[in-house]
Chain A
């Protein structure tokens, strides 16, 4: 980026202004585009007609930086006083410029490798959950627990190793569980970004795989009313989703803006090509509201959101012991399959999440202060199939309350170097709500965490350098009940340092390279240390790392050879962009030392029968992969698109493979765009390879035979195993078409799509219900979006 000397403003007698009009390539106005005065902290956004005005300027020439998500950032020179500037923005190529959201809480460095869903690519995922939506990005996959529960996976890792930032706040839910989906309504986002480096230093620990950033649109700052109405209907699951948003500014009160938004979704049983997937319905209701003021020097926002979902889990996956597992695996259709219904019965999950956020920024000459407070409460109830009276009681009933507080100061010096210093703090309380009539799976705890950070950006001729470091502390006070239902307590304290360095440079006008090296760590989660119990769909018992191997008693952390989990990740990206061809390729290697995972340890018998048991253990894991995406414009009407994700994940300490690692996949698409930009057709094909890098297979029957013959089914080895072979690879075809009309003051978009067009039966390796049922069959969807 070019650098310009800072300009002074708003001094005595500085009364000039710059006005302008910003349009898209098709000459339509671009509302909410950001216009910044280079070298200052000043800026504004365009109104709904694409107009902007920056006042209080002194004489002189200024450089305006114009940004709009999905478009290339432009810089233009303008003279204060007599200028009306007209700027046309062009859709961004793969060669993305720096993207900064209005609040600047989520800032992307130039050397950062990331992928983004916004505009049309986000619209395509309307009606899907956050996790499922992100599958559209190369390098991002999901672990699933049926058709409704998707957990995002970045470069092979998920749950505690992926950080989610929702409106700038670290999402705190029961994210330790692989079947616990993020508690976020994707309709609240104007873009969703996935940062693939481990070094998103400003947001704290845990970003070993990467960061998912859910960004809202900036609040309006001018009077007027705008809004969006989305409706999505899908044939599979017979689902309906409706989401509406209304926003506006206040008359005569420039800078004030507000927004209200809500979503409701209802789906019944999904169906595989040959049978109904009984009890896989979804019921969701969300709303959010925001208000704020953004002036020239000061701005503040308040945001509140509520998310509520009820999710059914496939009836045929509810099992007790190994015998039940054999029956469930060998039954097709799954046990308990009935005809379509909207009913959601046990096993099911009920989740509620509240988020309240208050943030402000205050510009001073040469720098800006920012403060942010967030409060989240997360309520999770899981209902298993239990003896009559107990089925109405949750088997798991957790409340998690989290306060976060952040302060930072960012400054740019006269050489254009940028520094940011800050501190984050968190207080968290996890509580088991009494009355489950089960020994809690994880204990109660309170946690205090936080630390300072510093990041800097430097430019050396063509090179841009981003470096950052932070120090974090996390404490836990734990109170729980062990296997004998005896109370135990413990106190834990962890601390460590993270650091990140990235460089980028353009090689010529078509090519850019980026390299990022980062070291991140995470404190262990209480679930990994103390969990105890069975999962109803797994027929396996899990023990935490701090439970004694032979006695099951809770031990002090000093009694086990525990070491902090730490990742060293290197990511290199090459970008090529010309008028007709854009490509981006990212290679990465992530070594996670002391990687905590569930290791199969043996078999235990209870009066209910036999169970394999797993214990949280540490090893070293290596994730190496490649993500690539390319677009080739054949002519003004046809564009070819391809996305490729390759990944190999190994346990390098034990020379073994890890379980539930996404297999290699390729997506190819062709897009036909009519001349007037109003009609398009998009066929696409997804090729998903079989996961050949999977652990050994010990079938349940082999397990039982070994037990019956008095042998050890694991053969004395603690190598990973799976009860079933990885399913074969599969190919899915889909097609979508869309059309847009101007309607009144706004625009109406229609999109019709068919997924799994040929109704193929297949199973996805990373879907935990692959043991019991096929994945979903053909799905038609119709979505309508009205914007004004």
Chain B
């Protein structure tokens, strides 16, 4: 029967052509390359260094699997002494990138692109003498003592200073890093821009 002979012949011919095309396309195909992932932050370390000297308090939050299902692991609590002035430095890493390779330290990138980034802080439990209040996450104008500034003179927040409360107490301490490309101003608050980091720690003054 005609259709049958058509089939057998055509199938083999079609298969041959498809295979030939596959080979052709196969030649130009290269194996996928591993991408650097500079935007991923998998580890954030907060170092509270007593200004008058002493042992720094180091706390970190680690994400074991990037965008995977596993939750982050947050050390803690942050235990600070009463009535002590601390300098807080924040260090951000992408541990999926090899140490020393570009993209490993996110801190450097935030610093370089300071005009697009700003840290905001919020706390409960009146754990600080200065700054007073509850931080600038809810209101940009509220007091936070920034040390570093960007090229335009606006605060960044990789380095800040804090004086703990005079009496023991506890609360939470929240750090938010916002990416505000073209939108960072003297009044842009924590609702402007995309969130790069949002962490909440337990804090004790003892």
Q: Do A and B come from one complex?
A: yes
Instruction: Please report which residues of chain A, range 557-616, place their CB below 8 angstroms from some CB of chain B when the two chains form the complex.
Output: 602, 604-610, 613
Q: Are A423 and B3 in contact (CB under 8 A)?
A: no
Given the known inter-chain contacts A401-B25, A429-B25, please indicate yes or no for A483 contacting B67, CB distance below 8 A: yes
A551 to B68, CA, bound (A): 8
Instruction: Please report which residues of chain A, range 361-391, place their CB below 8 angstroms from some CB of chain B when the two chains form the complex.
Output: 385-391
Give chain A residues whose Cβ lies under 8 Å from the Cβ of B38.
387, 390, 437
A439 to B36, CA, bound (A): 8
Report the minimal beta-carbon distance from A326 to chain B, rounded to whole angstroms.
Answer: 9
A448 to B6, CA, bound (A): 22
Give chain A residues whose Cβ lies under 8 Å from the Cβ of B61.
607
Q: Are B113 and A608 in contact (CB under 8 A)?
A: no
Find the B residue at minimum CB distance from A326: B191
Find the B residue at minimum CB distance from A534: B67
Q: Are B14 and A425 in contact (CB under 8 A)?
A: yes
- Which of B51-59, B78-86, B125-133, B194-202 contacts its partner? B194-202
Find the B residue at minimum CB distance from A429: B25
- Which of A88-96, A214-222, A313-321, A668-676 contacts its partner? A313-321
B33 within 8 A of A: yes
Give chain B residues whose Cβ lies under 8 Å from the Cβ of A421.
3, 6-7
Q: Are A438 and B69 in contact (CB under 8 A)?
A: no
A138 within 8 A of B: no
Q: Are A320 and B194 in contact (CB under 8 A)?
A: yes
Q: Are A605 and B72 in contact (CB under 8 A)?
A: yes
Report the minimal beta-carbon distance from B34 to chain A, rounded to whole angstroms.
Answer: 6
Report the minimal beta-carbon distance from B26 to chain A, rounded to whole angstroms.
Answer: 8
Q: Are A533 and B67 in contact (CB under 8 A)?
A: yes
Give chain A residues whose Cβ lies under 8 Å from the Cβ of B67.
439, 483, 532-534, 541, 606
Instruction: State the 4 A-B residue pairs at the shortest beta-carbon distance, nearest first.
Output: A609-B198, A552-B68, A320-B195, A320-B194
Proximity bits, B104-116, A CB within 8 Å = 1, else 0: 0000010001001
Q: Are B113 and A425 in contact (CB under 8 A)?
A: no
Report the minimal beta-carbon distance from B122 to chain A, rounded to whole angstroms.
Answer: 12
B192 within 8 A of A: yes
Given the known inter-chain contacts A319-B194, A606-B63, please indicate yes or no for A446 contacting B29, CB distance below 8 A: yes
A452 within 8 A of B: yes
Give chain A residues whose Cβ lies under 8 Å from the Cβ of B183.
336
Q: Are B25 and A320 in contact (CB under 8 A)?
A: no
A318 to B26, CA, bound (A): 37
A497 within 8 A of B: no
B151 within 8 A of A: no
Q: Are B69 and A427 in contact (CB under 8 A)?
A: no
Q: Are B69 and A485 in contact (CB under 8 A)?
A: no
Report the minimal beta-carbon distance from B157 to chain A, rounded to whole angstroms.
Answer: 16
A552 to B65, CA, bound (A): 8
A402 to B198, CA, bound (A): 43
Find the B residue at minimum CB distance from A432: B32
B96 within 8 A of A: yes
Find the A residue at minimum CB distance from B192: A335
Q: Are B7 and A438 in contact (CB under 8 A)?
A: no
Give chain B residues whose Cβ lies under 8 Å from the Cβ of A321.
195, 198
A107 within 8 A of B: no
- Which of B39-47, B140-148, B163-171 contacts its partner? B39-47
Given the known inter-chain contacts A425-B18, A479-B31, please indicate yes or no for A388 contacting B39, CB distance below 8 A: no
Q: Which of A409, A426, A543 contacts B69 (CB 8 A)?
A: A543
- 8 residue pairs from A and B, CB less than 8 Å apart: A387-B38, A423-B14, A425-B18, A431-B29, A485-B34, A552-B68, A552-B70, A609-B198
Give chain B residues whose Cβ lies under 8 Å from the Cβ of A423.
7, 10-11, 14
Q: Are B113 and A387 in contact (CB under 8 A)?
A: yes
B181 within 8 A of A: yes
Given the known inter-chain contacts A391-B181, A437-B38, please indicate yes or no for A608 contacting B195, CB distance below 8 A: yes
Q: Which of B25, B42, B68, B198 contacts A403 (CB 8 A)?
A: B25
A323 within 8 A of B: yes
Q: Are A604 and B39 in contact (CB under 8 A)?
A: no
Give chain A residues whose Cβ lies under 8 Å from the Cβ of B191.
327, 335
Q: Are A388 and B113 in contact (CB under 8 A)?
A: yes
B17 within 8 A of A: yes
Binding site for A on B (CB under 8 A): 2-3, 6-7, 10-11, 14-15, 17-18, 21-22, 25-26, 29-39, 41-44, 61, 63, 65-72, 96, 103, 109, 113, 116, 179, 181, 183, 191-192, 194-199
Give chain B residues whose Cβ lies under 8 Å from the Cβ of A327.
191
Q: Are B63 and A485 in contact (CB under 8 A)?
A: no
A480 within 8 A of B: yes
Given the known inter-chain contacts A321-B198, A444-B32, please indicate yes or no for A387 contacting B69, CB distance below 8 A: no
Q: Which of A389, A407, A436, A608 contacts B14 (CB 8 A)?
A: A407
Report the minimal beta-carbon distance from A369 to chain B, rounded to whole angstroms.
Answer: 9
Find the A residue at minimum CB distance from B15: A425
Q: Are B68 and A483 in contact (CB under 8 A)?
A: yes
Give chain B residues whose Cβ lies under 8 Å from the Cβ of A411.
2
Give chain B residues whose Cβ lies under 8 Å from the Cβ of A425.
14-15, 17-18
Give chain B residues whose Cβ lies under 8 Å from the Cβ of A403.
18, 21, 25
Q: Are A427 and B21 in contact (CB under 8 A)?
A: yes
A-B contact count (CB 8 A): 166
Give chain A residues whose Cβ lies under 8 Å from the Cβ of B68.
483, 551-552, 604
Q: Are A437 and B36 in contact (CB under 8 A)?
A: yes
Q: Are A484 and B65 in contact (CB under 8 A)?
A: yes
Given the known inter-chain contacts A387-B113, A390-B38, A452-B11, please indicate yes or no for A550 contacting B69, CB distance below 8 A: yes
Report the minimal beta-carbon distance from B23 to chain A, rounded to whole angstroms.
Answer: 10
A446 to B36, CA, bound (A): 24
Q: Which of A385, A440, A602, A604 contacts B35 (CB 8 A)?
A: A440
**How many residues of A are in contact with the other chain, CB < 8 A?**
70
A319 to B39, CA, bound (A): 15
Find the A residue at minimum CB distance from B179: A387
A438 to B32, CA, bound (A): 13
Q: 18 new A-B pairs (CB below 8 Å) besides A423-B11, A613-B69?
A: A320-B196, A323-B195, A324-B194, A335-B192, A387-B179, A405-B17, A405-B18, A409-B6, A421-B6, A423-B7, A479-B31, A483-B65, A483-B67, A541-B67, A604-B71, A606-B67, A607-B63, A608-B41
Report the minimal beta-carbon distance from B68 to chain A, rounded to whole angstroms.
Answer: 4
A450 to B19, CA, bound (A): 12
Q: Are A437 and B39 in contact (CB under 8 A)?
A: yes
A550 to B71, CA, bound (A): 11
Give chain B residues whose Cβ lies under 8 Å from the Cβ of A431.
29-30, 32
Proximity bits, A605-644, B CB within 8 Å = 1, else 0: 1111110010000000000000000000000000000000
Q: Are A484 and B96 in contact (CB under 8 A)?
A: yes
Proximity bits, A53-69, B CB within 8 Å = 1, else 0: 00000000000000000
Report the minimal beta-carbon distance from A429 to chain B, rounded to whole angstroms.
Answer: 5
A427 to B18, CA, bound (A): 7
A49 within 8 A of B: no
Report the minimal beta-carbon distance from A680 to chain B, rounded to whole angstroms.
Answer: 49
Give chain B residues whose Cβ lies under 8 Å from the Cβ of A323.
195, 198
Proximity bits, A408-434, B CB within 8 Å = 1, else 0: 010100000001010101110101101
A437 to B70, CA, bound (A): 22
A487 within 8 A of B: yes
Q: Are A439 and B7 in contact (CB under 8 A)?
A: no
Report the minimal beta-carbon distance from A550 to chain B, rounded to whole angstroms.
Answer: 7
- Which of B25, B31, B44 is packed against the most chain A CB atoms within 10 Å? B25
Give chain A residues whose Cβ lies under 8 Å from the Cβ of B116.
387-388
Q: Are A409 and B41 in contact (CB under 8 A)?
A: no
Q: Which of A427, A485, A608 contacts B196 (CB 8 A)?
A: A608
Q: Are A485 and B35 in contact (CB under 8 A)?
A: yes
Q: Are B181 and A481 in contact (CB under 8 A)?
A: no
A98 within 8 A of B: no
Give chain B residues whose Cβ lies under 8 Å from the Cβ of A427.
18, 21-22, 25
A556 within 8 A of B: no
A483 to B96, CA, bound (A): 10
Give chain B residues whose Cβ lies under 8 Å from the Cβ of A436.
35
- Which of A324, A387, A388, A602 is packed against the most chain B CB atoms within 10 Å? A387
Give chain A residues whose Cβ lies under 8 Å from the Cβ of B33.
434
Give chain B residues whose Cβ lies under 8 Å from the Cβ of A541.
67
